[in-house]
Amino acid sequence: MEKRSVNLLIQKKGQSPLFVKLGIIFPLAAVISLFLFTVFFVVSVVYIANNNKAFGLLKSQVDNLEKQISNKKSIEGIYTLTANRVRTIDQLKSGSKNYTGLLSEILKLQTNGISVTGASIDKKNAVNVSVVASSAATLDDFISLLLTSDQSKLFNDIKGSGIVRDRSGKYLMSISFKPSDRLLR
């Protein structure tokens, strides 16, 4: 008869490397996540508790200020309307013209033998002046005077049109020009 041996010790089965790794990773992850959760939770609760109080104080400060400003509603209304009106007036006045300077320069064109009979200025600041010269010589002097005005840049882009000699021997002429901006301020 063959001798048989019975092994009473149960051989431990070998664990897979993956199982071993999981056995380390899972508990570690659980502990870390629990720890982090606890920390974040406590911090958030403390932060909310502290800031709720500060938030409440700020809210009551805002309410108080709004109440005070509400009591000043009438002066706020008058001031706001006044400021808006004044701003509009400023805009409207910025485009306004004063013709005093221009009229003064036009009247200065009147010399011996030259008289200005009329003048006009349109929205685009184009000026037309009608003059009457007593003779050809005075007309010539007048044109020289205009050239001086052109050089001094008071009148720009000077053009003459239609010289007409009337029955009495006088010369009627129209001139057009653009005045310098300073003549319209």
Residue numbers at the binding site for other proteins (CB under 8 A): 22-23, 26-27, 29-31, 33-34, 37, 40-41, 44-45, 47-48, 51-52, 54-55, 58-59, 61-62, 65-66, 68-70, 72, 74-93, 95-100, 103-104, 106-107, 115-123
Please check whether residue 101 is in contact with residue 184, taking contact to mean a CB–CB distance below 8 angstroms: yes
CB closer to other proteins out of 11 and 151? 11
Please check whether residue 179 is in contact with residue 127, taking contact to mean a CB–CB distance below 8 angstroms: yes
CB closer to other proteins out of 43 and 147? 43
Supply the minimum distance, in Å, between the C-beta of residue 30 and other proteins.
4
CB closer to other proteins out of 69 and 147? 69
CB closer to other proteins out of 89 and 163? 89
Supply the minimum distance, in Å, between the C-beta of residue 45 and other proteins.
7
CB closer to other proteins out of 1 and 54? 54
Supply the minimum distance, in Å, between the C-beta of residue 4 and other proteins.
27
* CA distance readout (Å), 19 to 16, 35, 156: 5, 24, 100
Supply the minimum distance, in Å, between the C-beta of residue 60 and other proteins.
10
Residue 169 exposure: Cα atoms within 13 Å on the Cβ side: 6
**Residue partners of 103: CB distance under 8 A and separation at least 6:** 119
Supply the minimum distance, in Å, between the C-beta of residue 51 and other proteins.
5
User: How far apart are alpha carbons 8 and 46 in whole angstroms?
Assistant: 61
What's the DSSP call for residue 181? G
Handedness of CA 83, 87, 92, 95 (dihedral sign): positive
User: How far apart are alpha carbons 106 and 114 in whole angstroms?
Assistant: 12
**Residue partners of 138: CB distance under 8 A and separation at least 6:** 111, 112, 113, 114
CB closer to other proteins out of 25 and 163? 25
Supply the minimum distance, in Å, between the C-beta of residue 143 and other proteins.
20
